[in-house]
């Protein structure tokens, strides 16, 4: 089984994103922000894959690669791991805030397990592990990509700016 079923699923990814939107029911501003920052996840994944290839941790073996990278697959990373994860983070942070950090900490472990089990169970050969230390790079890539995406999403969507003219507690006006 090659990468074609995976690539054929790319056009239906927006349906999955709409399902997540329906289930989380975010305000319009949160929905728009999640779409605006989703490119960060795709870009971070692209950079991680490029670094992993140069460090000989893993490489892709499929047709239609550009500089050894499957550019079309980064669309799915951006939509699912950028936008949908941001919406889930918003839902957990607003509805169940005490579980927010558990969700954030679990994401790289989920990514590592998904990559390992997905490659081993499907017998897929389009992602080739070149080093026994691939897992360290994969965990780092998942952590950096998702945590950067969620940090930007949190900053632009969930923090409230101080009104002009207000001062921070503990400071005096003369400082």
From CA 61, how far away is CA 70, in angstroms rounded? 9
Residues in the chain, total = 175
Helix axes 13-24, 85-95, angle to 10 degrees: 10
| Site of tokens 């990514």 | 111
Over the stretch 85-105, which tens digit does the pLDDT of each residue have?
999 999 999 999 899 999 999
Q: What is the pLDDT of residue 63?
A: 67
Tell me the pTM: 0.77
Which of 109, 124, 135 lies closest to 73, judged by CA? 124
Domain ranges of the chain: 29-158
Beta bridge partners of 69: 66
Over the stretch 102-151, which tens digit does the pLDDT of each residue have?
999 998 999 888 888 877 777 666 777 788 888 888 888 888 888 888 88
> In the predicted model, is pLDDT for residue 167 greater than 80?
no
Question: Pairing between strand 127-129 and 58-60?
Answer: antiparallel
């Amino acid at each position: 089984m090659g990468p074609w079923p995976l690539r054929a699923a790319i056009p239906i990814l927006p349906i999955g994103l709409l399902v997540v939107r329906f289930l989380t029911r975010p305000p319009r501003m949160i929905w728009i922000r999640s779409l605006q920052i989703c490119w960060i996840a795709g870009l971070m994944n692209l950079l991680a894959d490029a670094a992993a290839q140069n460090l000989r941790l893993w490489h892709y073996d499929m047709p239609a690669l550009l500089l050894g990278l499957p550019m079309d697959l980064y669309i799915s990373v951006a939509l699912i791991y950028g936008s949908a994860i941001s919406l889930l983070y918003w839902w957990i942070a607003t509805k169940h805030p005490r579980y927010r950090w558990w969700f954030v900490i679990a994401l790289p472990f989920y990514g590592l397990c998904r990559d390992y089990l997905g490659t081993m169970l499907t017998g897929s050969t389009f992602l080739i592990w070149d080093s026994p230390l691939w897992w360290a790079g994969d965990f780092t890539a998942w952590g950096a990509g998702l945590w950067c995406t969620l940090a930007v999403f949190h900053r632009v969507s969930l923090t409230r700016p101080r009104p002009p003219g207000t001062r921070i507690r503990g400071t005096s006006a003369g400082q």
